[in-house]
Amino acid sequence: MKLNLNHSEINRRIGKTIAKYRQQSGYTQEQVAEILQIGNEAVSRMERGLIMPNVARLMELAEIFQCTAADLIADGSPRLFDKTHHLHLMMSELAEHDRELMLHFLERFTLRLKQAQM
């Protein structure tokens, strides 16, 4: 079986996700570099997708950003399963009423997109 993976695209997406989580957590690249005891340029290169952090480094980043390593990978993934999992995580943080409202919105929006494609 041949895998259809574009490694540079995966690196870029995960890098963007790392940058997003870092910014949401209120850290600068310099602060993350200091915590990880690496150079600022290494953090910048990760965020630009030029280098891919290994599993241990992803787990360290997840601890810093108070998320899971899976969040850092799945949030930037083009795979439908990963997108669905990300959506599930976002909705699980909402109150029941807000989840129902969001589900209704998604159903209506999906219907509208399907109609626009016809």
> Lowest mean pLDDT: which of 33-37, 97-101, 114-118?
114-118
Is the pLDDT at 112 greater than 70? The verdict is yes
pLDDT for 18-68, tens place per residue? Answer: 999 999 999 999 999 999 999 999 999 999 999 999 999 999 999 999 998
Is the pLDDT at 101 greater than 80? The verdict is yes
Cβ proximity of 47 and 22 under 8 Å: yes
User: Could you give the dihedral angle defined by the CA atoms of residues 21, 26, 50 and 78, in that order, rounded to the nearest 10 degrees?
Assistant: 20
